[in-house]
Amino acid sequence: MRRVLRDNGIGLVFGGLFLLMLVGQAVAGQAQYNDQQAAYGAEAVSLLQYVTSSTFAVDVVENWQSEYLQFFLYIFLTVWLVQRGSGESKDIEKAGLESDEDQKVGAHARADSPAWARLTDWRGALFSRSLGIVMGTIFVLSWLAQSVAGWAAYNSEQLGNREDPVTWLGYLTEPDFWNRTLQNWQSEMLAVGSMAVLGVYLRQRGSPESKPVGAAHADTGETG
Amino acid sequence: MRAFILGATVAMLAGCAATERPDVERVATDFATGDPTARCALLAPATLAAAERDGPCVAAVGTSLSSGGQVLQTSVWGDEAQVRLAGDTLFLTRTGGGWKVAAAGCTPNGDLPYACRLEGP
């Protein structure tokens, strides 16, 4: 049991933190929502009513979509983009899809390689891109969910303000949709870009996200 | 998983609106066809308070609002709704006591919010 916990520490701890923080967001969001309700002379909502509302849904998925966009772009663009000296980058000369030998695919697959890594047909091509495809798909679906939940929350606000509701396509042209989207995107780009550059000069002993403490600033693609 | 959430969100939105529509339209019709006393009973608390600011509610709803009218269009989004009647546009809100009228006697006002003869804050 202890070994299972140790061997899956990252997934378990981040999964647990995700749930705790989601509950915290729900409680804080309900309090804020009810403050607004009181200001308008409207009745307070229960936690269950709040977590099933479009207001909570859009606040959740607008963050999901930007996180998955960040990781999708990072996974995809770092195939070709490199950062000299960064532990987040591969070696400069490895920019691109790399050789079959480097990637251990097809005839270069090892005995313990995943079965589809040996295949040279569509299955091999699909498996070779599966991480980016799945992350990109989750991003698109999350963004779509944001647009739908945001549309519902926006129309509820419109009616509360004595204004007409808008269509879904109309909502996609509203500042509300793009403000929610871009305020999340910009922060993700800042975080991932700064991490790649700061990793050239700064170290975190023992972290695989950092170069070894004693590695030279010019060393690229090392992790410690 | 995310596809499920997306589908569930859309289904929830559509389902909620469809479920609430009959209640919303019944309250709107009762308000439009009711006498002043019945209308006052259908006002949301904040709107009732606004109606009683300068005198009895029945005076406020009896003189300034048109009556009657068939439902032409209904929009329900979350706890808010809009009902276009032949002679009026109403905005409703969901309260602990069910759907209530938040604003009545409303007319379009260009890009600005509707101008309503009776409304709460």
pLDDT in 10s for each residue of chain B, 121 residues: 555 555 665 555 555 677 899 999 999 999 999 999 999 999 999 999 999 988 899 988 876 677 767 899 999 999 999 999 988 999 999 998 899 999 999 999 999 999 999 998 7
Measure in Å the smallest separation between the Cα of A138 and chain B Cα atoms: 7
Measure in Å the smallest separation between the Cα of A224 and chain B Cα atoms: 34
What residue spans define the domains of chain A? 1-52, 54-224
Complex ipTM > 0.85: yes
Q: What is the pLDDT of residue B106?
A: 94
Q: Tokens representing A100?
A: 């079959």
Look at A153 and B67; give whichever has higher pLDDT: A153
Measure in Å the smallest separation between the Cα of A67 and chain B Cα atoms: 14
Cβ pair B75:A165 closer than 8 A: yes
Q: What is the DSSP string of A73-124?
A: HHHHHTTT---TT-TTS--GGG-SS--HHHHT-GGG--TTS-GGGS--SHHH
B102: three-class secondary structure by DSSP: strand
Q: A167-177: per-residue pLDDT in tens? A: 999 999 999 99
Cβ pair B6:A164 closer than 8 A: no
Q: A42-82: per-residue pLDDT in tens? A: 889 999 999 999 999 999 999 999 999 999 999 999 999 99
**B11 vs A: CB within 8 A:** no
Nearest by CB to B113, from A148, A155, A161: name it. A161
Domain annotation covers residue B71: yes
Identify the domain containing residue B40 by its residue range.
21-119
Domain annotation covers residue B51: yes
Contacts 24+ apart (CB under 8 A), B84-91: B85/B28, B85/B29, B85/B32, B87/B32, B88/B32, B89/B114, B90/B28, B90/B31, B90/B32, B91/A159, B91/A162, B91/B116, B91/B119
Could you tell me if B92 and B104 are in contact, meaning their C-beta atoms sit under 8 angstroms apart?
no
As for how many domains chain B has, the answer is: 1
Q: A161-209: per-residue pLDDT in tens? A: 999 999 999 999 999 999 999 999 999 999 999 999 999 999 999 999 9
Q: What is the mean pLDDT of residues A86-114?
A: 94
- Scanning B33-62 for CB atoms below 8 A from A yields 44-46, 49
Domain annotation covers residue B66: yes
**What distance in Å separates the CA atoms of residue A201 and residue A199, rounded to the nearest whole number?**
5
**What distance in Å separates the CA atoms of residue B103 and residue B82, rounded to the nearest whole number?**
9
Cβ pair A40:B77 closer than 8 A: no
Nearest by CB to A148, from B6, B49, B78: name it. B6
Domain annotation covers residue B46: yes
Measure in Å the smallest separation between the Cα of B56 and chain A Cα atoms: 20
Report how far apart, in Å, the C-alpha atoms of A214 and of each of A202, A217, A222 are.
10, 9, 11
Cβ pair A148:B116 closer than 8 A: no
- Which residues lie closer than 8 Å to A217 by C-beta, 6 or more apart? A85, A200, A201
Q: What is the pLDDT of residue B6?
A: 57
Q: What is the pLDDT of residue B66?
A: 73
**What distance in Å separates the CA atoms of residue B25 and residue A33, rounded to the nearest whole number?**
27
Q: What is the mean pLDDT of residues A86-96?
A: 92
Q: What is the pLDDT of residue B14?
A: 59
Could you tell me if B75 and B84 are in contact, meaning their C-beta atoms sit under 8 angstroms apart?
no
Give me the CATH number covering residue B108.
Answer: 3.10.450
Mean pLDDT of chain A: 95
pLDDT band with cut points at 50, 70 and 90 for residue A213: very high
Is the dihedral angle over the CA atoms B82, B84, B85, B90 positive or is it negative?
A: positive
Q: What is the pLDDT of residue A116?
A: 97
Please state the φ and ψ torsions of residue B100, each to the nearest 5 degrees.
-135, 160
